[in-house]
Amino acid sequence: MTPRRKKGGATDSSPPPEDDMKEGWEGLSEDLAEGTIAPSPELEEALREASEAVGQPPEGITPAQESGNSEETEPESLEVTLAEAEDRFLRLQAEFENFRRRSARERAEAHRYGHQNFVKDLLPTVDNLERAVDHAMAGDEGGLEGVVQGVELVSRELLSALEKHGVCEIEALGQAFDPNFHEAVGQVQDDDSPPNSVVQVLEKGYRIHDRMIRPARVMVSSARAEPGGKED
């Protein structure tokens, strides 16, 4: 920028007023926008510094030029993020499908072979029962007594196998009648037992853990009859 001359031929080396700087910068920007001046990196840098000095954006330089390649890289980053999310979704879907198939297979196997251990515990009982039958058919001396002992052994082993799997007999004889566990078949008069108590078990009841499988079928004592026909 050339120094201005004062009156009398003297030169003025002081910086030009801000209005003069704006006019010169605006003219240079217009020339750059109209294409009369070939753009160059040095010229664009000079215009940018001048715009920062006066607080106005330089004409002829778009925001895209100032921000560089931010708008160009943003779609690429979104595509990368979308691709990663789609890959995670496909992996999760495959894992869920494998889990569903494995669970279905395990349920089918449990339904088909779930009682395997129970049957295995019953096999010794079956063996002893077959031995008792063979001993009775042999007709040896004391065959009847041997059959009875064999049947008692089989009964004990069978009850032991049931208890091992949580199956227990429901206590009924001598107990107060409970409709939750007992099924009354009839009533009998028993002076030795309190009224409404179980005096005879016709069919034993069983439960597995805390769930009843079959109620006990019982006979229940009735109240004593008075001579006048009344009952207590």
Give the residue extent of every domain in the chain.
Answer: 16-64, 84-114, 116-164, 168-222
pLDDT at 215: 92
pLDDT at 90: 92
Half-sphere exposure of 28 (CA within 13 A, CB side): 18
Fold assignment, 168-222: Nucleotide Exchange Factor Grpe; Chain A, domain 2 (2.30.22)
The crossing angle, in degrees rounded to 10, of helices 18-34 and 41-54 is: 140
Tell me which residues of the chain have a pLDDT lower than 50. Answer: 1-13, 18-22, 25, 58, 61, 63-68, 70, 232
Question: Do residues 37 and 28 lie in contact, with contact meaning Cβ atoms separated by under 8 Å?
Answer: yes
Q: Compute the distance between CA of residue 192 and CA of residue 92 in angstroms, rounded to an integer.
A: 73
The string of pLDDT tens digits covering residues 87-140 is 999 999 999 999 999 999 999 988 888 888 888 888 888 888 888 777 777 766
- Cα four-point dihedral sign 106, 108, 114, 119: negative
Burial pattern 14-42, b for ≥16 Cβ within 10 A else e, equals eeeeeeeeeeebeebbeebeeeeeeeeee
Q: Compute the distance between CA of residue 21 and CA of residue 42 in angstroms, rounded to an integer.
A: 18
pLDDT at 105: 92
The residue behind tokens 């499988």 is 213
The reported pTM is 0.50
Question: Do residues 188 and 219 lie in contact, with contact meaning Cβ atoms separated by under 8 Å?
Answer: yes
